[in-house]
Structure 1
Amino acid sequence: MKSVRGLSRRSVRRRTGRVLVEGPQGVREAVRFAPEHIVDLYVTTEAAHRYAEFVDPAREAGVLVHETSDEVLAAMCDADTPQGTAAVVDWSPAGLGSVLDTGPRLLVLLTNVRDPGNLGTVIRGADAAGADAVLVSEASVDVTSPKVVRSTAGSLFHLPVVTGLDIDETLAALAAAGIRRLAADGAGESSIDDSDLTGPHVWVMGNEAWGLEPQTRAACDEVVRVPIHGHAESLNLAMATTICLYASARQQRA
Structure 2
Amino acid sequence: MRTPRVVAARRLQRRRERDAAGLFLAEGPQAVREAAAAGVVQDIFGTSHGLTRFADLIAGARGSGARVSEVTDEALAALAETVQPQGLVAVCAQQPVPLRKALERGPRLTAVLAEIRDPGNAGTVLRTADAAGAGAVVFAGDAVDPYNGKCVRASAGSLFHVDVVRAPDPAAAVAAIRERGVRVLAATGYGDTDLDELADSGGLGVPTAWLFGSEAHGLPAELLALADARVRVPIYGGAESLNLAAAAAVCLYASARALRAPATEERSERGAGPTAQ
Which bin holds the TM-score, normalised by the shorter protein? over 0.9
Please point out which of 6, 11, 16 is paired with 1:6: 11
Q: Does 1:123 align with 2:123?
A: no
Q: Is the 8 A contact 2:99 2:167 kept in 1?
A: no
Structure 2 match to 1:192: 195
Please point out which of 208, 221, 236 is paired with 2:215: 208
SS of the residue aligned with 1:89?
A: strand
Q: Does 1:53 align with 2:52?
A: no
Once residues 92 and 239 of structure 1 are traced to their aligned partners in structure 2, the CA distance between those partners, rounded to angstroms, is: 27
Matched AA of 1:111: A
Please point out which of 10, 14, 20 is paired with 1:15: 20
Structure 2 match to 1:217: 224
Pick 1 or 2: higher relative contact order, CA cutoff 8 A, min separation 6.
Answer: 1
Task: Specify every segment of 5 or more residues in structure 1 that has no aligned partner in the other structure, as ranges.
Answer: none
Q: Does 1:43 align with 2:46?
A: yes
Task: Specify every segment of 5 or more residues in structure 2 that has no aligned partner in the other structure, as ranges.
Answer: 1-5, 262-277
SS of the residue aligned with 2:197?
A: coil
Matched AA of 1:226: V
Once residues 138 and 253 of structure 1 are traced to their aligned partners in structure 2, the CA distance between those partners, rounded to angstroms, is: 31
Aligned-pair CA distance for 1:92: 2.8
Aligned length: 252
Aligned-pair CA distance for 1:11: 1.1
Structure 1 match to 2:77: 74
Deviating above 4 A after TM superposition, structure 1's stretches of 4 or more consecutive aligned residues are: none
Once residues 160 and 183 of structure 1 are traced to their aligned partners in structure 2, the CA distance between those partners, rounded to angstroms, is: 20
Q: Is the 8 A contact 1:117 1:151 kept in 2?
A: yes
Please point out which of 225, 233, 248 is paired with 1:241: 248
Q: Is the 8 A contact 2:44 2:88 kept in 1?
A: yes
Please point out which of 117, 128, 153 is paired with 1:150: 153
Aligned-residue sequence identity (percent) comes to: 46
Aligned-pair CA distance for 1:211: 0.9
Post-superposition CA distance 1:152-205 (Å, at most 9, x none): 111111110101331111111111110111010111122111211110110011
Please point out which of 92, 100, 104 is paired with 1:101: 104
